[in-house]
Chains A and B, each alone.
Chain A
Amino acid sequence: MYRNGFFSLAFHTLFIAFIVAPLVVVMAVSFTGEGFISLPSGGLSLRWFEALWANQEMVDAFWLSLKLGLVSATVATLLAVPAALAISRYDFPGRGAITGFLMSPLMIPSVVLGIAFLRFFSLAQVGGSLWALSITHVIVVLPYALRLTLASTIGLERDAEHAALSLGANRLQTFWRVILPRIRTGVVGGWLLAFIQSFDELTMTVFVATPGTTTLPVAMYNQISQTIDPLITAASTVLILGTLAVMLLLDRLVGLDRVLIGDKQ
């Protein structure tokens, strides 16, 4: 393997600048003291973070997104763990089709999902509740939880499990004390990834969110499509820092490359 030459490193520098530029700009603008979009001049100001904290709509949207993420990631994980165990250890008819079906939300455009859920809820007349919103998020984030859980259940040795069963432990005890501890990183990683995907989801949610159930990304989108002011950059900065925190957690737990690329190594 040869080393990177001058041109490679120059290209690399430009590429990294391209990747981080929009994020850095958003964060820089959020510290401006002016009333319009501009880079901070003469010291950093927290004016727009104070304005954000005082903006009831945005604060409510933040708490709603947080609740939604916690609920949908938890439900998705509860559904994904048994499914992953079945898929990885039993050879049963329809196994491939079921896996494909459970992963299918990744292949369906979010706009189509949004329209389908909106139609369903308007016929069932249950739109506009946190419950309805949560279940749509469960479906959208389940593939992420399933993928990471599968990565840890596939290839899991079953000797310890057989030992536990033959020593008189029942199925539930075996799962709780033998299986779960060994697939924990996959389950926790899957939960975190599912949470972050739910917290960030915009395109599908735009269709099913109502004035009473506006998530943070939807509130930000509505705001941006009217006018772009420093308030929205302050909200974005909070979001970027929050995501970074979850990212570091994921990296510590599972390794971010494993989360994003999968088990290729």
Chain B
Amino acid sequence: MATYDAERVGSAPWLLTGPALLVFLTLLAAPLVLTAMLSLNLFSDTKGVIPVYSLANYLEVFGDDYFHEIFLRTGGMALAVTVCAVLIGVPETLIIARMRAPWRSLFLLVVLGPLLISVVVRTLGWAILLGNNGLINQALQALGIIDFPIRMMFTQFGVVLALTHVLVPFMVIAVWASLQKLDLQVEQAGLSLGASRMTTFRRVVLPQIVPGILSGSIIVFALAASAFATPAIIGGRRLKVVATAAYDEFLGSLNWPLGAAIAVLLLIANLVIVVGCSRLAERRFKHVFE
């Protein structure tokens, strides 16, 4: 990729990347380090942040059932969102890939376009649909299918549904990218050699797109586990996840050190999952990545 230009290297790359690096070091790296340090401080309601260093906040998060529940709920919902995204996103990508000229790019845009629309707007749409007086309940009641509204707002079902909607485009992107390396004509070869559609899919198509499904799953899981707006609006106050819990500690109870500890744990968990799973997937599917 890079062209090596012996006589010109010198200080040029440092001068060119310097401004961006300077901004990132002072305004990204430093704040992150300060947050990690803050997470080791103590807090009291009367004195505020106490500048001593201890692991008390981490011990509290690890020892308290309240936080166990929040972390488990967040992981569980992120897993559910990932499974849903695989189940609907993978077939849809294959269907779009099989379409012909104008439809193919048109529907790709329809599926991916919402990524650029604010997550507040997309979540608002689900809040309007899912409420007790929401459009889904109104329609079901008008049709006489149900007598009483089904409760969908402030439930895990609602959060998983809305988050799947918000994140499924990332799965489509990942699978689409892996499909670009695969000529779907090979399916024809499989079929003409006498394999059934199922066998062709399982033995020819699937092995090629598994890396795409895996990298899509990693992205969807990581984003679902750290999502804020959708769980906050659809889940409400009671159905807390890690991101909203950190928010409440910071801006609600003002216990900044504890909020910082939750944030640090979220960041570490996120990096472990993203980096760890990518490594694992790359090793397992080396032949496809190369």
Contact = CB atoms under 8 A, between A and B. Distances in A.
Interface of A: 1-4, 8-9, 11-12, 15-16, 18-23, 25-26, 29, 37, 39, 78-80, 82-83, 85-92, 95, 98, 101-102, 104-105, 107-112, 115-120, 123, 135-136, 138-139, 142, 154-155, 158, 196, 199-200, 202-203, 206-207, 217, 220-221, 224-225, 228, 232-233, 236, 239-240, 243-244, 246-247, 251, 256-257, 260-262, 264-265
Contacts of A260: 112, 115, 169, 173
Nearest to B274: A107
B139 to A, nearest CB: 10
B30 A120 contact: yes
Contacts, number: 274
A interface SS class: helix
B101 interface: no
Nearest to A23: B125
A251 B34 CA distance: 41
Interface residues of B, number: 97
Given A89-B5, A116-B31, 8 more contacts: A8-B95, A12-B107, A39-B135, A116-B35, A120-B34, A142-B24, A225-B232, A256-B109
Contacts of B229: 202-203, 221
Nearest to A204: B228
A190 to B, nearest CB: 13
B2 A243 contact: no
Interface string B123-136: 11111110101010
B24 A101 contact: yes
A12 B32 contact: no
B119 A202 contact: yes
B129 A21 contact: yes
A139 B28 contact: yes
A112 B271 CA distance: 12
Contact of A19 (B13, B165, B181): B165
